[in-house]
Amino acid sequence: MESLVAKFNSLGITDVLHYEKFNLISISHHSTKIEGSTLTELETQILLDDGLTPKGKPVNDTLMVTDHFKALHFIIDKAKNQIPVTTELIKEINAVVMKSTGGIYNTILGEVDASKGMFRKGNITAGVSYFPNYDKVERLTNELVKFINTSMNNNLSIDEKLNLSFDAHFNLVSIHPFYDGNGRTSRLLMNYIQAFYNLPLAIVNSEDKQDYIQALIDTRENENIELFRTFMKNQYEQYLLKEIKKFEEGFSSKSNKGFSFLF
């Protein structure tokens, strides 16, 4: 992985005009599609680049995408300023993710506004997965934050930095501290750690949603983090290889074949 990241960086792919913007658009597309957005990647691009909402698509999907894009910029800004990971930062990320789509949950312990990054006050399940009791959420999140901050230092190898980002992703989504937006928030926490170390940002491909969910389930059932790390490393490797190939083929075609115009 280290050699692949080194090649990606040596090619100067991130220096290409508008690369970062369209890469963030792609991350937002895939992350929200995993959570049910019906927007295509082209519709997502037009929405985020030109501000044009797609016809015939649910308003909630459009809001989900625009909020995720804002959340990506939020975590990148925090990472560039080397802001440490805190429980409050995780809540802030979730609040941005859920700003326009978060609902109100009335519980016996009081009201929870999902658009404010508030921890859940009830127990939840998702598919076959049961998550920790609500009264353990704050303690577990604080422990995760402590683990992340204890682990983050400049002496880590690229593999170790990536593993830390994948581990944070897995552990936060397994705590499931919020009523909604847990997957998006967990993937953004992963991206935050990668941006903190100036690494390319990982994308979980929406076409691999079933394998992604299965990797989470298998990791929990077997209590083996290597299962999730392996899945994420494969996703990361595929992304880097795809970007390197596009970059090299693009410059090869320009230098050797010239342009073909349709007029």
* Active-site residue, 73 included: no
Express each pLDDT in 74-92 by its tens digit.
Answer: 999 999 999 999 999 999 9
**Is 120 annotated as contributing to ligand binding?**
no
**For residue 14, what pLDDT is reported?**
76
Residue 256 lies in a domain: no
Residue 253 lies in a domain: no
**Nearest CA-CA partner of 5 in 224, 221, 197, 141:** 197
Residue 254 lies in a domain: no
**Is 185 annotated as contributing to ligand binding?**
yes
Q: How far apart are the C-alpha atoms of 242 and 96, rounded to whole Å?
A: 30
Q: How far apart are the C-alpha atoms of 15 and 32, rounded to whole Å?
A: 26
Task: Choose the catalytic residue: 30, 68, 169, 176.
Answer: 176
**Is 133 annotated as contributing to ligand binding?**
no
Residue 259 lies in a domain: no
Q: Cα–Cα–Cα angle for 36, 37, 38, nearest 5°? A: 110
User: What residues does 130 pair with on adjacent strands?
Assistant: 125
Residue 159 lies in a domain: yes
**Is 110 annotated as contributing to ligand binding?**
no
Residue 263 lies in a domain: no
Residue 82 lies in a domain: yes
**Which CATH number belongs to the domain containing residue 6 in this structure?**
1.10.3290.10
How many C-beta atoms lie closer than 10 Å to residue 127's C-beta?
A: 8
Residues with Cβ within 8 Å of residue 210, at least 6 apart in sequence:
none
Domain that holds residue 226: 2-246
Instruction: Domain count for the chain, please give it.
Output: 1
**For residue 257, what pLDDT is reported?**
46
Q: Cα–Cα–Cα angle for 174, 178, 180, nearest 5°? A: 100
**For residue 251, what pLDDT is reported?**
59
Under-50 pLDDT residues of the chain: 254-261, 263
**Is 106 annotated as contributing to ligand binding?**
no
Residue 116 lies in a domain: yes
Q: How far apart are the C-alpha atoms of 153 and 253, rounded to whole Å?
A: 41
